[in-house]
Homo-oligomer: A and B are copies of this chain.
Amino acid sequence: MTYCIAASIDEGLVLVSDSRTNAGIDNVSSYSKMHVFDTPADRKLILLSAGNLATTQAVLEQLHRDKVKEAEVNLNNVECLSAAANYLGQVSVEKQKQHKEAAGQNAFDPSASFILAGQINHETHGAFMIYPQGNSITTSANTPFLQIGEIKYGKPVLDRFLKPETSLNEAARCCLVSMDSTVRSNASVGPPIELLIYRKDSFKLDEYYCFQDDDAYMLGLRRQWEDQLREAFAKLPMLDKKYVKPLIAKL
């Protein structure tokens, strides 16, 4: 499994990903799911990937090859993020199809999802989630984040706190808490946790973090979040018997 988050907010982008992959619970490895492309100075593009590892690697390789051989459409010449998302969707569908059609592979699932985030030229920064079918969606003012992989455990904290006006530092902590809840609840999501903060119009990727399992900052964040949740919890209004209603055995 995998868990990746992209927050696209007023100040820029926050991208977080785990690094655990597995082909069955007895076959666990560690692979980065945050991929950065070497592009011209007018653009910064970051890709997060989830799903079949062979597919995501094949897609990455193709994106790289297209760039090197200066294909008609490649990440170095697409005009905007949505065009990049379309192109990525096409490559993804093509790679999935190749493997899906292999003889005797009917039960096998080659599907993969991606988040493509960044900024191209004078366009606003942004993020797109590309479905296995190749189509894509972007964020909105109401939902300024995208998730791929094991999305449910970590969604409530994003729903509650992530707004377009949230600061980058706060959004980063929000995404790390979301990731931490997921790591705790699903053994197939795990460290190292990668975090990249992109300040809009900076065209710099110089705020990159990589937290190992025993990282002091992550341990501190986790401990403090737990302690404070515990305090918050203890202060919740007590249930009072004055609210009790009669219960009638129905059967």
Chain A residues proximal to chain B, CB less than 8 Å: 32, 35-39, 60, 63-64, 67, 152-157, 159-161, 169-170, 172-174, 177, 181, 184-185, 195-197, 205-210, 217, 220-221, 224-226, 228-241, 243-251
Measured in the bound complex, the distance between the Cα atoms of B159 and A229 in whole Å is 12
How many copies of this chain does the complex contain? Answer: 2
Q: Is the Cβ of A232 less than 8 Å from the Cβ of B228?
A: yes
List 27 contacting pairs A-B, 8 Å CB cutoff, sorted by A.
A35-B251, A36-B247, A38-B251, A60-B251, A63-B251, A152-B185, A156-B184, A156-B185, A157-B229, A160-B184, A161-B233, A173-B236, A195-B239, A205-B247, A206-B247, A208-B245, A209-B245, A217-B240, A221-B236, A224-B236, A224-B237, A225-B232, A228-B228, A228-B231, A228-B236, A229-B232, A231-B232
Min CB gap A157→B, angstroms: 8
Task: Give chain B nearest CB distance to A63 CB in angstroms.
Answer: 7
Cα of A205 to Cα of B157 in the assembled complex, Å: 34
Residues in B neighbouring A38, C-beta threshold 8 A: 249, 251
A225 near B236 (CB under 8 angstroms)? yes
State the CA gap A171–B116 with chains docked (Å).
41
Cβ–Cβ contact A247 & B156, under 8 A: no
Q: Cα distance A210–B226 when bound, in Å?
A: 29
Q: A170-B233, A249-B36, A251-B37 are in contact. Are A217 and B244 (CB under 8 A)?
A: no
* Interfacial chain B residues near A226, Cβ < 8 Å: 160
Q: Give Cα A60–Cα B195 distance, bound, in whole angstroms.
A: 50
In the complex where A38-B251, A244-B206, A247-B196 touch, is A159 in contact with B184 (Cβ < 8 A)?
Answer: yes
- In the assembly, what is the distance between CA of A228 and CA of B207, in Å? 29
Known: A36-B249, A196-B247, A251-B35. A173 touches B232 (CB 8 A): no
